[in-house]
Amino acid sequence: MANSTAVSYFTLTAYFDAGLFKYLLFIITMSLYISILCANVFLIFVICINRNLHEPMYIFLCSLFTNELQGSTGFFPFFLSQIISDIHTISLPHCFLQIFCLFSYINVQLCNLTIMSYDRYLAICYPLQYNTLMTFNKAAVLIALTWIYPFAEVAVMLSLSARLQLCGNIINKVYCDHYSIVKLSCTDTAANNVRGIVYTICVVTGVVALISYTYFKILQVCFSGSKQTRQKAVSTCTPHLLSLLNFSFGCLFEIIQSRFSMSSVPNLLRIFLSLYFLACQPLFNPVLYGLKMSKIRSLCKSLLFEKM
Residue 2 counted as domain residue: no
Domain housing 107:
9-305
Those residues whose C-beta lies under 8 Å from the C-beta of residue 144, and which sit 6 or more positions away, are none
Residue 9 pLDDT greater than 80, yes or no: yes
Residue 256 counted as domain residue: yes
CB 46 within 8 A of CB 299: yes
**pTM of this structure:** 0.88
Give per-residue pLDDT as tens, 133-185.
998 899 999 999 999 998 998 998 898 888 888 888 888 888 888 888 888 88
Closest C-alpha among 1, 58, 36 to residue 287: 36
Closest C-alpha among 79, 256, 87 to residue 176: 79
How many structural domains are present in the chain? Answer: 1
CB 235 within 8 A of CB 218: no
Residue 1 counted as domain residue: no
Residue 294: which pLDDT band, with cuts at 50, 70 and 90?
Answer: low
How many CB atoms are located within 10 Å of the residue 153 CB?
A: 16
Q: Residue 170: beta bridge partners? A: 11
Residue 276 counted as domain residue: yes
Q: Identify the CATH number of the domain in which residue 252 sits.
A: 1.20.1070.10
Closest C-alpha among 56, 58, 90, 92 to residue 75: 90
Pairing of strands 9-12, 89-91: antiparallel
d(CA 128, CA 175): 48
H or E stretch covering 12 = strand 9-12
H or E stretch covering 90 = strand 89-91
Give per-residue pLDDT as tens, 85-129.
888 889 989 999 999 999 999 999 999 999 999 998 998 888 889
Give per-residue pLDDT as tens, 177-214.
888 888 888 887 888 888 888 887 878 888 888 988 99
Residue 4 counted as domain residue: no
Residue 193 counted as domain residue: yes
**pLDDT of the residue at 143:** 94
Residue 169 counted as domain residue: yes
Q: 3-state SS string over 161-199?
A: HHCCCECCCEECCCCCCHHHHHHCECCCCHHHHHHHHHH
Residue 3 counted as domain residue: no
